[in-house]
Amino acid sequence: MSSPFLTKGQNITLPAEVTELDVIVSWVDPERDLDASALLVDEDGRVRSDADFVFYNQPESPDAAVRYLGSSSTDEGKQERVSIHLNSLPLDVVKVVIAGSSDEHGLSEFGKLALQVRDQSGSVLGEFFTADATSERALVFGEVYRRDGAWKLRAVGQGWESGLAGLAQDFGVDVDDSEQDESIDDVVVVEVADSHAQATTPTGEVVDVSIVDVDPPKRAVRTKKPAAKKVTPPQFTLAGGEGWHTARLFSVSGVGSGEEQEKRATSALIATMQAVRPFARAICARAGAPSGPFEGYLEVPFVKGEGKVIPDGVFRVSRAGHVWTALLEVKTGTGKLTKEQLENYLDVARRHKYEVVLSLSNDIPASVGELPVQVNKAKLNRVSLRHISWSEVIHEARMLLSHGDLADSLQVWILSEFVRYLTHPKSGATEFVDMGRHWVAVRDSVTAGTLRPSDVKALSVANTWASLSRHLALRMTADLGVTVKHHLPRKLSGDPQARNEYIVEQLATSGCLAATLRIPDAAGDVSVEADLRTNKIQCSTTIEAPNDGTALRRASWLLKQLEDAPADILVEAVFADVSEVSCENLATVRADTKSLTSGRVSELRRFTLTSPTKMGSKRSGSAAGFIVSVTAAVDAFYRDVVQPLKPWVPSAPESAIGSE
């Protein structure tokens, strides 16, 4: 079956062999939250009971056929997921309605919204995009329904200004979002004997209560989203002095060979996933797993021919009577994945009808879905090969700690200890350490002016540069809690070969490697350019100037925001007349603001701020290395220059009423 893009009102028949659906509601603005929900309705178009409303406060239908799986971040924005097990749906449920809603924002503020439906193998069955919403706060994206013994998918696109509560009520859900007296929840029954019981009041007083045999009052569904409870790891305050050190859950003491390093890292990963289920869900989701209870195993032996193959680990997720399985191959340090090893695991997975072989190493793919090792495509007919880097594992853990909904302080401590372990040099889980074996040759060719676009070695360096750019975006995402993207022209973003050829062309003609990082709510993008001819790194950003006031006033507006910026950054003023461009270092502009605007007569349009730093030349991650110098330059430029900048906001228009 193809992967059709549905228009509003269009429907398709789902293949007969499809038994499970992964329903994804996605949007591009990572700062806004859209909540997915599902309603199981009968032939009258209404729920059979309130239990048929599946959403964040009620994440599973009574028969577990429909489950709310929560949200996650992606390279393209954010998404929420709902799973549907078609064979488990009761016969009187004829339709599952898929909706999305927001408590705080009209859906027009989300821009383009998307619904995507996948089958149990991850293949896309149908997609629906819409940007038609205006003031509505809830939208039915689509519906999965029975027709003549088959399941079908329809794109709907109908909105509700009354939000999730209004939508639910229209489908027959009894909703009560009134403020309720929660004091009854503060009474805990501790002992029952015959028709009497003792209960503890909120003040600690034990009182006798009588038990009356009556049905409890029916409580309507509350659609209000519960406030997230942030917790912190346990604080150890009883140490007797500076030399007292707390015990660490994952110790780096005594780490020896690369093999031992891999075993420790793999064991720490699986143990943390079993203890912190949201973390397990985040990692397994990257491998295409369904939502469900997770278990992990170390070094499971499998027979292959006359011998055995032993993957570093096995992931298993149970879901609706089926067990999803991934074989895990791990490398740490400079260890490299091999084609032969991965193909052996693919053979074993296919024989046992497992779904995925997952590789984990320090290789960071330049874009989502790319693999560091190419295998025989014939071995991918029934088994998927996926890759995740240690950098992405650290990213998921940090995101969950900073911006997830972990409510258990023990889980927070375990995950914090895991991050501490992975970021220690002895763990072997380095985030990005090497520009590759062709780096020195290509660097020297650029310096000598002999590099040509057809150089095969340069293509390898270009791919590594794209990986480094994605690494920078992942680091900033984990640090800032918003999805930072390595921005590429649209024609290059989905074509690795074209992307690498473009990078090589730029490198051959200008001697520069360049990347742009797009940061939500920042005043401008962060552009980084490594000039291999001058051994300089330049980080820059462009910000629009105010559109009122004189050029001097506009320059003063910028200067106030750069009070703590380094004095050596360059400030470029760009005017309406392109020939009127001025550039001074910040120290000069601070001493005399007119130095930037004097003699210019056209309108000042925007400013470009640039910070030049020295470039490291070595291929590896030493203090004098290229990677370290680029990472440090980007971090410092964002912290000292971009983060304090705020876009200009015009003053509110003045009223003429009462002015006479």
Contact 390, 361 (CB under 8 A): yes
Q: Would you say the pTM of this structure is higher than 0.75?
A: no
The single-letter DSSP state of residue 330 is E
The single-letter DSSP state of residue 112 is S
Per-residue pLDDT tens over the stretch 296-351: 999 999 988 888 999 999 999 987 678 899 999 999 988 889 999 999 999 999 99
Question: Rounded CA gap, 140 and 601, in Å?
Answer: 54
pLDDT score recorded for residue 206: 54
Token pair recorded at residue 470? 């994605």
Place of tokens 């989203």: 225
Contact 326, 289 (CB under 8 A): yes
Place of tokens 């994206």: 141
Question: Rounded CA gap, 463 and 425, in Å?
Answer: 25
pLDDT score recorded for residue 239: 75
Contact 138, 159 (CB under 8 A): yes
Which residue type sits at 55? F
Among the listed residues 630, 286, 578, 301, the one whose alpha carbon sits nearest the alpha carbon of residue 470: 630
Q: Which domains does the chain have, with CATH numbers?
A: 5-170 (2.60.60.30), 258-427 (3.40.1350), 439-642 (no CATH)
3-state helix, strand, coil in the chain (%, to 5): 30, 30, 40
Question: Rounded CA gap, 395 and 470, in Å?
Answer: 12
Question: Rounded CA gap, 79 and 94, in Å?
Answer: 26
Range 240-261 burial, b when 16+ CB lie within 10 A, else e: eeeeeeeeebbeeeebeeeeeb
Q: Bridge partners of 488? A: none
What stretches of 545-623 adopt beta strand conformation (E)? 570-575, 581-585, 604-614
Question: Rounded CA gap, 621 and 628, in Å?
Answer: 6
Q: Where are the alpha helices (DSSP H) in 108-162?
A: none
Among the listed residues 296, 300, 298, the one whose alpha carbon sits nearest the alpha carbon of residue 287: 296
Element (H, E) at 309: strand 307-309
Task: Report how far apart, in Å, the C-alpha atoms of 589 and of each of 40, 225, 571, 607 are.
Answer: 65, 50, 8, 13
pLDDT score recorded for residue 188: 39
What stretches of 310-415 adopt beta strand conformation (E)? 313-319, 322-330, 356-361, 384-389
Could you state, in chain order, the average pLDDT of each consecutive group of 10 residues for the chain (660 residues)? 75 89 84 88 93 88 83 73 89 94 83 84 83 83 92 92 90 77 41 47 52 54 70 74 80 78 94 93 86 89 88 88 90 89 94 93 81 88 90 87 81 93 87 81 91 89 90 83 82 84 92 91 91 93 89 90 91 87 91 87 89 83 76 92 86 61
Name the 3-class secondary structure at 596. Answer: helix
Question: Rounded CA gap, 532 and 529, in Å?
Answer: 9
pLDDT score recorded for residue 49: 92
pLDDT score recorded for residue 230: 63
Question: Rounded CA gap, 550 and 306, in Å?
Answer: 82
Q: Provide the CB-side half-sphere exposure for 526 (13 A, CA).
A: 30
Contact 608, 540 (CB under 8 A): yes
Contact 633, 515 (CB under 8 A): no
pLDDT score recorded for residue 182: 43
Residue 530 burial by CB count (10 A; 0-12/13-18/19+): exposed, middle or buried? buried
Max alpha carbon distance in the chain (Å)?
Answer: 99
Contact 571, 607 (CB under 8 A): yes
Contact 265, 429 (CB under 8 A): yes
pLDDT score recorded for residue 144: 95
Among the listed residues 492, 486, 440, the one whose alpha carbon sits nearest the alpha carbon of residue 619: 440
Name the 3-class secondary structure at 433. Answer: coil
Question: Rounded CA gap, 487 and 493, in Å?
Answer: 8
Question: Rounded CA gap, 399 and 285, in Å?
Answer: 15
Residue 342 burial by CB count (10 A; 0-12/13-18/19+): exposed, middle or buried? buried
Question: Rounded CA gap, 629 and 513, in Å?
Answer: 14
